[in-house]
Structure 1
């Protein structure tokens, strides 16, 4: 059966225009409406039930809140969200919380004022009880992060096991003195990835040296500065695991600024597999998240909430994988 993409292609318009023809024809030129409807008739295109229900609601706008729009990790998640949104007649409104919980709370007013039909949170920076209160009144989905004990549909990976997997890889390369640059401890991702690191070190009876565990904030700058701190100790690590790729890039550049090389002197592993990790020099070994799939699943869950579909499962843990590149090497010391 033909989809909205085929209609848009044959009518020589965007997918968003086809959606507006079906949901808000008053916003589209008459000639365009005629052309789109002719293609719809020729192809016998049938919008799905969710889209039809949405057109009956007050708004087809959905709000997506990201913690930091400058973090390229979220670009593919957003692509996945928008792909499903457009297929179902939605428009996506993006909100940047700027890593500020108070700013994140402000976006909740868009739901309260009924300017959005639902919301996808790509951050869990606000209090769990507030998220639960909003989710009891409006369709809300949490993606990438989660909140313990909160009954809100969620899509994420297992951050503990994936961090454990990355640490095990370094241990199996023979590294015994492993540094770790964590995310902020006030975030669930920061805590979970640190937990996975500790679990792997304990499982293989590798001593964790407290000085070699430093807290960053997921930014390039913090990765650079925390790596300089690790290099200041008399016994430098032979390998470093950074809790995201941005910090890993900072760590690599700090190592090279001190006249050392990656991976010959120090191996570095990251987390997230953002696009730049494959073209960075050296190409970064990292944990890959299924970002596009996280986005599509989150949007599908939100559609289910909005159209009051029966949901037998609301918590989804998607697969991750370790991507091996050039930034890790067998321990030579």
Structure 2
């Protein structure tokens, strides 16, 4: 591999002159510039990014950690982040923690060694050690989607609790009362907030939520399939709120295998509005968010910190959800029974 000294020797100039041409750091005569550029082309010389970053104290690289890069939700967020930074002259290192705390910690260490200019994290879960490491990372940090307790960093997320309440109220307004909920992992703040929104909407209608009405999933389609199967066996719900679209799609499969028609026998509503939710059959009613815009918002927030446009206290940037009604939700086939002896119903 050719070095800067090889270029200098071929061009008949000093290696500092080559450096000035490559980095455009000082004026160089047209003759010398032409000879240097010709030598670079002949030797196929590639300047050392490491050396240049040491001199500039910047690498034009960004670290991005997501919990599951096969989940279309995080894939779309990553696409928004990568696209924004590419347009602004940065390269993004994408790391998949695979929902594992230890893997996430290892990637944090590796990215720190890469001398990145900034970091965006969609966390694999609550992790005090990660919070401590990120608080001492020495570079600007932005958290997207999943807050990490104890971390002092800008947070970009959708209003999870409001969105879940919105989805549940939609089912209640249709006349459903026996509504099941497929939650995400209890270790993620996102899941906790979405379950809280579900309970809030049910409480507004005087409906007590019994333990078997909420089944934990893992934000995957197989997890949604297993959780919906448990709900069908224990609760026989007329409607299900799934904590994300992938689990909602799994619930559609579980219903089909049992001969349960959607939405005639059971309505299903998801959360996220991933692209796939529009093309399954029946198309999934969901609480939507502009996922690409969420990623771009996180990228913009980080770049503002890197460039010193924003300083001082951390910020919370919230994207408001909206309900997207499609084919998977409808009024129940039979009127929901209402107890005449009590105003409070149980599910």
TM range (shorter): 0.7 to 0.9
Q: Quote the Cα distance in structure 1 between the aligned partners of 2:126 and 2:105.
A: 7
Matched residues, number? 287
Q: Quote the Cα distance in structure 2 between the aligned partners of 1:303 and 1:132.
A: 22
Q: Once structures 1 and 2 are overlaid, which stretch shifts more, 79-88 or 319-328?
A: 79-88
Q: Once structures 1 and 2 are overlaid, which stretch shifts more, 235-244 or 144-153?
A: 144-153
Aligned to 1:221: 222
| 1:186–1:23 CA distance, 2 compared to 1 (3 A) | farther
- Provide the secondary structure at the position in 1 that maps to 2:207: coil
Aligned residues of 1:182 and 1:242 also touching (Cα < 8 A): yes
- Provide the secondary structure at the position in 2 that maps to 1:107: helix
- Provide the secondary structure at the position in 1 that maps to 2:180: strand
1:103-182 to structure 2, matched below 5 A, reads 103-128=103-128, 130-136=130-136, 137-182=138-183
**Cα RMSD over matched residues?**
2.4
Aligned residues of 1:142 and 1:153 also touching (Cα < 8 A): yes
TM-score, normalisation: structure 2: 0.77
Aligned to 2:344: none
Aligned residues of 2:270 and 2:284 also touching (Cα < 8 A): yes
5+ residue gaps, structure 2, are 1-21, 25-36, 42-52, 335-347
TM-score, normalisation: structure 1: 0.80
1:1-333 to structure 2, matched below 5 A, reads 56-128=56-128, 130-136=130-136, 137-233=138-234, 235-311=235-311, 314-333=315-334
Q: Quote the Cα distance in structure 2 between the aligned partners of 1:300 and 1:149.
A: 23
| 1:309–1:54 CA distance, 2 compared to 1 (3 A) | farther
Task: Map Cα deviations across residues 69-104 of structure 1 (whole Å, 9 max, x no partner).
Answer: 110112221222122211221001100000101000
- Provide the secondary structure at the position in 1 that maps to 2:170: helix
Q: Quote the Cα distance in structure 2 between the aligned partners of 1:61 and 1:279.
A: 36
- Provide the secondary structure at the position in 1 that maps to 2:209: coil
Q: CA deviation at 1:133?
A: 4.0
Aligned residues of 2:61 and 2:93 also touching (Cα < 8 A): yes
Q: Quote the Cα distance in structure 2 between the aligned partners of 1:275 and 1:190.
A: 21
Q: CA deviation at 1:291?
A: 1.1
Q: Quote the Cα distance in structure 1 between the aligned partners of 2:298 and 2:66.
A: 13
| 1:253–1:220 CA distance, 2 compared to 1 (3 A) | same
Q: Quote the Cα distance in structure 2 between the aligned partners of 1:151 and 1:90.
A: 24
- Provide the secondary structure at the position in 2 that maps to 1:232: helix
Aligned residues of 2:241 and 2:269 also touching (Cα < 8 A): yes
5+ residue gaps, structure 1, are 1-21, 25-29, 35-52
Aligned residues of 1:117 and 1:306 also touching (Cα < 8 A): yes
Aligned residues of 1:167 and 1:200 also touching (Cα < 8 A): yes
Q: CA deviation at 1:293?
A: 1.4
Aligned residues of 2:183 and 2:242 also touching (Cα < 8 A): yes
